[in-house]
Each structure stands twice: as structure tokens, then as C-alpha cells.
């Protein structure tokens, strides 16, 4: 058990050093970087598609799309208007890490973007431990999931700065309770900023877009 803990600490320590280097590169250029995390099917790619379509004429957006076996998400983002999209296929790994980001970052023209969006692998456990050099983590949950997700995965909600609740157009079709999920999340992290959206109908997305633009404006 001691050896296992020692190896894990070493891996995370090396990851944190690389993440610090990445963060330094991005800060030097005045870039905002967000790391999107969720369980599979919450709507990360859909949210990023809507974001690209809405902001492509106002912000220069770079994307890193992580997936376990395919480049499907990266291809969707390109089709939505993404001109700087770099896929990472983990080959089975359940999360992105800073080493993976370091490998693809030179392929992104950082001087030509204002905002870097990283779509992590669909998983609420492992990605919580890995810093990718981002400014903040954005955790997605949908109304088709349990409203106890924050209590089941406290590490992720504790390390995130923003919670996006997607598929609000489906409220009432299950026992998901909006008030309860917010209470559960804020029991873990009282500072969480919350957005309620529907990527299908567009409800709530304007507030999300406005917030992203204000983040970028604050860096300039």
C-alpha cells in the first residue's frame, strides 16, 4: 500500500510541474483556459458546439478534444465552426493529463486565440486529480442524471469553479430536482457558479456566452 501511494504521489507531482509550465505559457499570452469535465452523455460536446457557433465571430477559440478511442468529438467541433481543434485519443486512459496537453499544445497557434477550451474524457473520478494548466474546471451535469451526483463525486465538484446543468428542457420527465442538486453541490463547494441551460432549445445559453466573453475581456 505504501508503494502504491508513493507512485501515485510521484505521478501527480510530475503532472503538477507540467501543468504549472502550461499555465505559465497561457498566462504569458493572456489566454483563458477552461477544462470541461462530466460523466458521459451530459452534453460537453453539445455545449462546446453551441459555444463555437455563437462566438466564432467574437472570440478566437482553440479546442483540445479528449476521447478514449475516437476523434468523433473533435470532428463535431470542427463541423460546428472550430478552426483550431486538436484531438487527443487516450487509447483507453480515463482522463487527460498535463503530459498529453504538452504534446499537442505546440500544434495550436496560441498567439491566434483568446480562449482555450479543453474537453476532458467523460469521467467524474480520475480527471478531478489532474491539473491541465487550466484557469478553472467546468463540471457539467444533466437533468437525466441523479441530483445526488455532487455527493457521489465530491472531489470533482470541490475542484470545479463552475457547474453547468444541461438538458433543463427535460425537467419533469424524471425525479431530478433542481433545487436539490444545487444544495448538494454547494454543500461540497459553496463558491460554485451555476448555469442552467438547454443545448437543444438554447435556453440559458446567452448567460453562458456572456460570462465567457467577460472572462476573456478581463484578461485584456
Domain boundaries defined on the chain: 2-218
User: Which pTM value belongs to this model?
Assistant: 0.92
Q: How many degrees, rounded to 5, is the angle at CA 141 between CA 43 and CA 36?
A: 65
The architecture CATH gives domain 2-218 = 3-Layer(aba) Sandwich (3.40)
Give, for all 220 residues of the chain, the pLDDT tens digit.
Answer: 445 556 567 778 999 999 999 999 999 999 999 999 999 999 999 999 999 999 989 999 999 999 988 899 999 999 998 989 999 999 888 899 999 999 999 999 999 999 999 999 999 999 999 999 999 999 999 999 999 999 999 999 999 999 999 999 999 999 999 999 999 999 999 999 999 999 999 999 999 999 999 999 998 7
Number of other residues whose CB lies within 10 A of the CB of residue 88: 22
DSSP state, 32?
E
Identify the residue whose cell numbers are 480515463: 94
Nearest alpha carbon to residue 144 among 123, 169, 174: 174
Per-residue three-class SS string for 121-165? CCCCCHHHHCCCCCCEEEEEEECCCCCCHHHHCHHHHHHEEEEEE
Amino acid at each position: 500500500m505504501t508503494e502504491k501511494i508513493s507512485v501515485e504521489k510521484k505521478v501527480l507531482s510530475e503532472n503538477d510541474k507540467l501543468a504549472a509550465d502550461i499555465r505559465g505559457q497561457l498566462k504569458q499570452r493572456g489566454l483563458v483556459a477552461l477544462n470541461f469535465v462530466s460523466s458521459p452523455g451530459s452534453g460537453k460536446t453539445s455545449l462546446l458546439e453551441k459555444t463555437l457557433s455563437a462566438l466564432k465571430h467574437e472570440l478566437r477559440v482553440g479546442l483540445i478534444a479528449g476521447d478514449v478511442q475516437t476523434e468523433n468529438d473533435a470532428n463535431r467541433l470542427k463541423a460546428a465552426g472550430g478552426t483550431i481543434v486538436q484531438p487527443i485519443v487516450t487509447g483507453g486512459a480515463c482522463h487527460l493529463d498535463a503530459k498529453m496537453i504538452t504534446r499537442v499544445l505546440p500544434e495550436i497557434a496560441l498567439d491566434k486565440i483568446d480562449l482555450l477550451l479543453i474537453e476532458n474524457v467523460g469521467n467524474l473520478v480520475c480527471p478531478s486529480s489532474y491539473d491541465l494548466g487550466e484557469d478553472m474546471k467546468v463540471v457539467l451535469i444533466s437533468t437525466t442524471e441523479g441530483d445526488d451526483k455532487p455527493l457521489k463525486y465530491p472531489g470533482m465538484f470541490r475542484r470545479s469553479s463552475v457547474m453547468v446543468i444541461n438538458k433543463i428542457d427535460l425537467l419533469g420527465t424524471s425525479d431530478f430536482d433542481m433545487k436539490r442538486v444545487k444544495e448538494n453541490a454547494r454543500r461540497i463547494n459553496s463558491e460554485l457558479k451555476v448555469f442552467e441551460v438547454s443545448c437543444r432549445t438554447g435556453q440559458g445559453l446567452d448567460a453562458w456566452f456572456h460570462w465567457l466573453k467577460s472572462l476573456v475581456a478581463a484578461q485584456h
